[in-house]
A and B are shown apart, each in its own frame.
Chain A
Amino acid sequence: MAIRKTTAPDDVHPDALMAHYRNMLLIRRFEEKAGQLYGMGLIGGFCHLYIGQEAVVVGLEAAAAEGDKRITSYRDHGHMLACGMDPGGVMAELTGRAGGYSKGKGGSMHMFSKERHFYGGHGIVGAQVPIGAGLAFSDRYKGNKHVTFAYFGDGAANQGQVYETYAMAALWDLPLIFVIENNQFAMGSNSRRAAHTPSLWERGTAFGIRGEEIDGMDVLAVKAAGDRATAHCRAGKGPYILEVRTYRYRGHSMSDPAKYRTREEVQKMRAERDPIDLVRDMLLNGKQVGEDALKAIDKEIKGIVNAAAEFARESPEPDPDELWTDVTAEMQV
């Protein structure tokens, strides 16, 4: 593979670049494995892969501080891995097993981790946006400095509840970062077919919310924007919108033949704009690490993903009694 003449800015430490590389690669390999397990019939139903979009969540997680919250839609595996959730627990949820984050009762679209401040995993387009505002509301109410990242796609950006949330988030100065992951397709519809004006972040200006568009294939650009957004929120200046231009290589879900775009378009994006290759090139071109170091990471990631898949296959199905648990919570006296 050719190495492009790309170098990282001087102020980016090689360790940070290495971490981005590792975190993005983990998502990439995990999702590839999930696709394989789906093909083998071990994962059922809907399964939305994040391949191609890795720089978005990895860049923003690098800008997050401990205690910050995140919430997203159903294309959620990458977000869970990036915030430190266990790959085995995520994969076992995909296979519907007792060892999954929701004991097998949630599935691909419905996972949570209180410990990692990950609030789902929501299957209804746009619903996570007001919930994210509620999380930010809770932090403002308690008077701490935490920030919430509410991720949604260009498709959800046309949902009415998003704009109701803009209104209240601005009105109440909520420490909330609206992350529009614009992968250019709402299922099979190019975003230009759903929105007359191509710029989605600019809609926030009508509500007095600051925002910007960033290149979501460049993890360093995403991280830098995340730093600006979190600083804005932590300073008590209210919400911020990041429209991150990205691209998903796979179909909307596993059953999507993706006839709405050409194979060449996808190939071109992979060849020229791949977020992982970009960081790899920076590392090698800057002579900050050698091929061997990257190969070691590749091997480590492969081991983690294989172990996760193994756990997800070996973990038992939930006990039949689990059908009746967690419907309502008992009152704590």
Chain B
Amino acid sequence: MSTQILMPALSPTMENGTLAKWLVKEGDSIAAGDVLAEIETDKATMEFEAANEGVIGRILIPEGTAGVKVHTPIATFAPVAGAGRSTSSGAQMPPSTAAADPNAVRPGAEPVAPAALFPDWPEGTTLRSQTVREALRDAMAEEMRRDETVFLMGEEVAEYQGAYKISQNLLDEFGAKRVIDTPITEHGFAGIAVGAAFGGLRPIVEFMTFNFAMQAMDQIVNSAAKSLYISGGQMGAPLVFRGPNGAAARVGAQHSQDFAAWYAHIPGLKVAMPYSASDAKGLLKSAIRDPNPVIFLENEILYGRAFDVPVLDDFTVPFGKARIWRAGSDVTLVSFGIGMTYALDAAERLALDGIEAEVIDLRTLRPMDTACIVASVRKTNRCVTIEESFPVGAIGNHISAVLMQEAFDFLDAPVINCTGKDVPMPYAANLEKLALVSTAEVVAAAHRVCYR
């Protein structure tokens, strides 16, 4: 009985990959554990092993094929009868435990980025499609070329090329003096970065994820954020703490948390949380030049998404300026970071119901462009906020308070905050989906505030 070998998911957030090389031919007999193929993900090249003994039938996807979606049949396979209990199973399962297609729990997997209403670049600028990952790498490289004092430190940033491949090729270009692997010592190296900033350098600290930055929280909050104030303006800490923040996919409670509200709470910090690749690039370049400590919250799921990025020698995006992705007159949807995928997706669906949503991407949370939100709500009279964080003390709560004070007479309905649920992130695929904010919830909230 012939079964199919499927394109494996080799990381929690992998959506597709390149079948780089077949290491077997049609008709080859293979043993369990033999390497069948090399698969390139956006992060690394991985070997893909056979789970069962048998014979390779037809190769369905030739080597060198890029963009092969996870779980696509890539070859047929005839297991050896009686070779093991698994021969009675159907398709050979990929070796990864990541069974769920991240697309299933994420809206807007193939976002067609709508044109920005107010683009951050001059009309006629050439655009090219770039992933958020590439945009972040380019931003760091450009700033490192521009300023000798800028350096990158963190776990696996140098020789490994970054746990999420954000620092790819930086070691080659800038050398070990400026691209520095640290031991697993978040508390220690965050403090070292603060001291290096005091000493006149411009550190970029990569946290492998912001979940680990909690170990460094004292240095971020007490040392980095407060030093300018408690020194009477003498000694600031110009540095960037960056890395993926928020839920990835199926990595459980300790690795899935959105810290945006935590950092936005702290005076002395600046906080950016970009959605698109152009914002990732432009904001990171601004962050590196900023004389203050900047928390730069990225998102693992967005790393592989492509957007238009302007081809300019020195493209920066200022802090504190929101971007309106979609104009509308019926309701204002306010979000940032990956929340924008739900907001934009919901806006499309609402349009089918005759509700025109205005979609605002805050881009930075401290400073926050509240003027943009207030101006929009004065027009639409309704507002829904969208974020992945826990609901208590969320960014949306703050926006609601601002609207109460500055647009109370313009509101025709209570503001609704769509957030993640008030539970630690569960592992089970169905529960994880329930714990996250969803497009359906955003659509329902918009209907409620529109009373239709």
Q: Chain A: residues with CB nearer than 8 A to chain B?
A: 69, 71, 100-107, 110-114, 119-124, 127, 129-139, 141-142, 160-161, 164-165, 167-168, 171, 325-332
What are the residues of chain B within 8 A of A114 when measuring CB–CB?
A: 234-235
B236 at the interface (CB under 8 A from A): yes
Alpha-carbon gap, A325 to B195, bound state (A) = 22
Partner of A119, one of B185, B195, B238: B195
* A127-B191, A164-B185 given; A134·B233 CB < 8 A: no
What are the residues of chain B within 8 A of A71 when measuring CB–CB?
A: 195
B228 at the interface (CB under 8 A from A): yes
Q: Are B187 and A100 within 8 A (Cβ)?
A: no
What are the residues of chain A within 8 A of B289 when measuring CB–CB?
A: 331
Chain A nearest CB, measured from B239 CB (Å): 10
Q: Are A105 and B230 within 8 A (Cβ)?
A: yes
B199 at the interface (CB under 8 A from A): yes
* A138-B199, A138-B200 given; A102·B232 CB < 8 A: yes
What are the residues of chain B within 8 A of A171 when measuring CB–CB?
A: 183
Interface size bracket, B side: 35 or more
Q: Are A130 and B195 within 8 A (Cβ)?
A: yes
Chain B nearest CB, measured from A117 CB (Å): 10
Partner-binding segment picked from B120-128, B217-225, B369-377: B217-225
Q: Are A138 and B187 within 8 A (Cβ)?
A: no
What are the residues of chain B within 8 A of A122 when measuring CB–CB?
A: 223
* A127-B223, A135-B195, A332-B291 given; A326·B189 CB < 8 A: no
Partner of B229, one of A105, A111, A138: A105
Alpha-carbon gap, A111 to B235, bound state (A) = 10
Most chain A beta-carbon contacts within 10 A, residue among B149, B218, B234, B267: B234
Q: Chain B: residues with CB nearer than 8 A to chain A?
A: 149, 151, 177, 182-183, 185, 187-201, 203, 218-219, 222-223, 227-236, 238, 267-268, 270, 289-292
Q: Are A113 and B195 within 8 A (Cβ)?
A: no
Alpha-carbon gap, A321 to B151, bound state (A) = 36
Given A114-B234, A164-B183, A327-B228, 12 other A-B contacts at CB below 8 A? A120-B230, A130-B190, A133-B192, A135-B199, A138-B198, A160-B187, A161-B188, A164-B185, A164-B188, A326-B233, A328-B270, A330-B291
Q: Are B187 and A164 within 8 A (Cβ)?
A: yes
Alpha-carbon gap, A120 to B224, bound state (A) = 13
Closest A residue, CB atoms, query B224 = A131
Alpha-carbon gap, A327 to B291, bound state (A) = 11
Alpha-carbon gap, A141 to B193, bound state (A) = 12
What are the residues of chain B within 8 A of A124 when measuring CB–CB?
A: 218, 222-223
Partner of A134, one of B194, B231, B234, B290: B194
* A119-B195, A124-B222 given; A100·B232 CB < 8 A: yes
